[in-house]
Chain A
Amino acid sequence: MISAEIAALHAADARTSAQVQPRLDFPPYRSTILRHPTKDLHHADPEEIELLSPVFGHQDVDPLEADLTIQRGGEPIGERIRISGRVLDGEGRPVRRQLVEIWQANAGGRYIHKRDQHPAPIDPHFTGVGRTLTDDDGGYSFVSIKPGPYPWRNHRNAWRPAHVHFSVFGDAFTQRLVTQMYFPGDPLFALDPIYQSITDQSARDRLVARYDHDTSEHEWLLGYTWDIVLTGSHATWTEPEQDGDHA
């Protein structure tokens, strides 16, 4: 039973210290067995190239790419949602004008990908891909369709909880984050070895968006709020106030 394997690993971590980042070696997620490094990460002092980040600008992203419901000339099927929030660094400062990319399954739990052969319908009006730039307050917002759970072959009756993949850049390349946002109250959390690879409960909770009635729209969509916090070394000096590098 996958839940027994997960529980054993959580209990082992509880005796030492639960981990706020996923354990790279987490055998309940079968694909980690041959893909996790066996040696400790080597400490490095970041150099300049690692303390800055690639620059994205208005030419990189069309504002319409933040609305996943209008990309294919018709209404996608499913529960229309807005996901909004802020990207912040560990000190609570906004991460400004950085790229946020998302991808997800459609309402039936199907990705537009040749290797996804799950027998659920492809929605001709939904690609499941979105991009945006954070604003001056670190804010981002996407309109989309709530993704469905989908089966995978990790173990018997394995289904992934509904989730949206996020790719986020910080002010420094050391802050680079790829993660997944989940929806509150999903019954599949306890059985999902990817979500459970983080053994600290409060850290797992940080991957779950909050239903936000204030950003819901009457007769139109449900709002979810999810803030993203990026940590990792970054330059300690303060950048001079200027706006020339995003002209």
Chain B
Amino acid sequence: MPEDVVPERVAGGLEPTPGQTVGPFFHFALPYRGGQDLVPAGHPAAVRLHGTVTDGAGRPVVDAMIEIWQADEHGQVSRQPGSLARDPHVFTGWGRSATDDAGHYRFTTVEPGATVDGAAAFVSVCVHARGLLDRLFTRAYLPEAAVAADPLLTSLDPDRRRTLVAVREADGGLRFDIRLQGEDETVFLTFDRDGADR
């Protein structure tokens, strides 16, 4: 690993509980009514954010679950409860979508504003799947993202960087495909602070 920072562990620091795969049978427990709809489809700024999750053979991953967490169109991070029992008039910034039999997930949401002036706006994405032993983090940047100003995007080679940028579709929607392995493998992120996250 390139990161070789050995932090001080505070007194009483606790070792982490390891992750484990979400397995194939989460569908009856985790998806919930309206979980894919951060705003109603009729919202004036509603946009579809969707894509396909594929494996190293290019096959769709039909038992993946994608979670997103994002700022609203003004760059404000919601602090409203109601992420599960959703009031369609309240934007919580949180969504969860299982992939379907074609490996496809979809959200109805608004495009996030940047949370810091000048920074590139993105949706934070967490990927769970059978066969994936721990969750993965990534980011779906808006296609018009200010690449030159963004520290993460500029730290990547252009051909890897584009895996983090959603594609603008003809109808205005955003397509963000996730490739777990192989050609165009999505860049997955670690926010490692103390070596505990690999």
Q: Which of A88, A103, A246 contacts B28 (CB 8 A)?
A: A103
Residues of B whose CB lies within 8 Å of any CB of A are 1-3, 10, 12-30, 55-57, 59, 61, 67, 69-71, 77-85, 92-94, 112, 115-116, 119, 122, 124, 126, 128-137, 139, 151-152, 155-156, 180-182, 185-194, 196-198
* Bound-state Cα–Cα, A92 to B16, Å: 10
- Among residues of B, the one whose C-beta sits closest to the C-beta of A200 is B18
B19 and A56 within 8 A (CB): no
A197/B133 contact (C-beta < 8 A), A206-B15, A229-B15 known: yes
**Does A88 lie within 8 Å of B14, measured CB to CB?**
yes
B12 to chain A, nearest CB (A): 5
Q: In chain A between 120 and 169, which residues have their CB closer than 8 angstroms to a CB of chain B?
A: 127-129, 131, 165, 167
Taking a contact as CB atoms under 8 Å apart, the answer to whether B80 and A55 are in contact is: yes
Q: List 12 A-B contacts (CB under 8 A).
A: A22-B133, A34-B131, A35-B130, A41-B188, A41-B190, A41-B192, A42-B155, A49-B115, A89-B14, A102-B29, A113-B25, A176-B137
User: Smallest CB–CB gap between A76 and chain B, Å?
Assistant: 15
From B12, B56, B81, B152, A56 is in contact (CB under 8 Å) with: B81
Cβ of A26 < 8 Å from any Cβ of B?
A: yes
Which of B19, B27, B193 makes the CB contact (< 8 A) with A22? B19
Cβ A49 vs Cβ B124 within 8 A: yes
> Which chain A residues border B78 with CB–CB below 8 Å?
55
The answer on a CB contact under 8 Å between A231 and B194 is yes
Closest Cβ neighbor of B55 among chain A residues: A34
**Which A residues fall within an 8 A CB radius of B?**
19-24, 26, 29, 31-50, 52-61, 88-92, 99, 101-103, 105, 111-113, 115-116, 127-129, 131, 165, 167, 173-174, 176-180, 194-195, 197-198, 202-204, 206-207, 227-234, 245-246
A20-B196, A38-B182, A174-B137 in contact; A49/B15 too (CB < 8 A)? no
Of all chain A residues, which has the CB nearest B22?
A: A178
B135 to chain A, nearest CB (A): 6
CB distance from B23 to the nearest CB of A (A): 6
Q: In the complex, what residues of B have CB within 8 A of residue A128's CB?
A: 28-29
The reply to whether A40 and B2 contact each other, CB–CB distance below 8 Å, is yes
